[in-house]
Structure 1
């Protein structure tokens, strides 16, 4: 059995703690929305960034903690009609963590090597996976932001959490997702870059070759995800 590299463990312990963050600093707040006319249905621009059907993604993930330190793991994410499965693996092939998330947001841990057996780590990982791969829930408002100027789809849940989806279509990013706490502070920001058509048989899917996820707060972290492979699976 491959051992977890010794130098990786202190980083992972800090990382497990950082995944439990909510808003704890980072003073970026929810921007004002200029509402569009009422919508009869959910626009495709609000949902097209999320994979449809069954997929398996493999990413190289660089973890960086806000105050220094980091490491690299391989992330494997499998999306199905009723579940999302994830695994984190060292470059040497040792599985650090695996779990399954169902449509009712029940998260079952199937393997967790210390410090990944910390419940707060699983919760944080669940929230990151949802933000990247699943369409937000909540009441939809469509409109535009004044600063920075951009069209946006805004979802607000019953407990006042907000998700903004921005389809940038510019040279730097092809879309962004931003999560805000009930107090309107930014807690998570995701930027997708170098989106490419997924190929025949995958519908209109456009797959980002790079993803960057940042969380706020004094112990925040950054995940830089580089796509290794994306496979559209039969349903």
Structure 2
């Protein structure tokens, strides 16, 4: 538990010096296709996801925990259980407009820690509630959609082939705060037939308190709505 505590306590995020990239123009007839591709990145409906979560340790060592997450896109709800590989649950939390901690072993009973975790889950799996404020192509020729949320931060969704996609979150002044990169496509019942389901997701937070997490998909099941 001490190892897990040392690493996961860094789930508080911050600042970076990377500037906001420019979006290249495209023909207006291409915009609907770009928006569709960006939307396909995110899950629809209600899902239960089982991930093996890897995080880096000092000395280039790695440690692992298991995460079971239930997400409901339409309701914007999240249920999350984090446990050791052996099955010891050290966090059981819920998000429905606010964070509710059902079980938390210190320091994972910190409301700030759990808010940060839920924020990461929303970033990875929830489509923005607003339409893109700008769409086009990146400097590498990839489709890109830019969104602005209520906190005035910016988010880019960048799509390439299949489920190889990337999400970048920026502060209001354009500094890169977090990145999410997905690959290793898997076709699962209920997932997008166009791009498949990402078998691996890597999340990185930048700034003074940095952390990096890798999510390896072990199982995914579409659930019926309550």
TM-score, scaled to structure 1: 0.83
Paired residues for 1:64-83 under 5 Å = 64=56, 71-80=63-72, 81-82=74-75, 83=77
Distance in structure 2 (CA, Å) of the matches to 1:46 and 1:149: 15
1:60 pairs, out of 52, 67, 70, with 52
- The answer on 1:48 being equivalent to 2:40 is yes
2:8 aligned partner: 15
Aligned-pair CA distance for 1:41: 10
Q: What are the ranges of 5 or more consecutive residues in structure 1 without an aligned counterpart?
A: 1-7
Aligned-pair CA distance for 1:158: 4.5
- The answer on 1:92 being equivalent to 2:92 is no
Aligned length: 219
1:149 counterpart SS class: coil
Q: What are the ranges of 5 or more consecutive residues in structure 2 without an aligned counterpart?
A: none
2:125 aligned partner: 133
Structure 1 vs Structure 2 CA RMSD = 2.5
The answer on whether the counterparts of 1:189 and 1:214 sit within 8 Å (CA) in structure 2 is yes
1:226 pairs, out of 203, 216, 222, with 216
Runs of 4+ in 1 over 4 A off after TM superposition: 38-42, 65-70
Distance in structure 2 (CA, Å) of the matches to 1:176 and 1:230: 20
2:136 aligned partner: 143
The answer on whether the counterparts of 1:11 and 1:70 sit within 8 Å (CA) in structure 2 is no
1:123 counterpart SS class: helix
Distance in structure 1 (CA, Å) of the matches to 2:192 and 2:173: 38
The answer on whether the counterparts of 1:66 and 1:220 sit within 8 Å (CA) in structure 2 is no
TM-score, scaled to structure 2: 0.86
2:109 aligned partner: 117
Aligned-pair CA distance for 1:163: 0.8
The answer on whether the counterparts of 2:7 and 2:55 sit within 8 Å (CA) in structure 1 is no
Distance in structure 2 (CA, Å) of the matches to 1:68 and 1:89: 22
* 1:197-219: CA deviation from partner (whole Å, max 9, x where unpaired): 213x5563721111111111232
Distance in structure 1 (CA, Å) of the matches to 2:222 and 2:55: 26
Distance in structure 2 (CA, Å) of the matches to 1:12 and 1:95: 13
Distance in structure 2 (CA, Å) of the matches to 1:144 and 1:198: 29
2:13 counterpart SS class: coil
Distance in structure 1 (CA, Å) of the matches to 2:64 and 2:192: 32
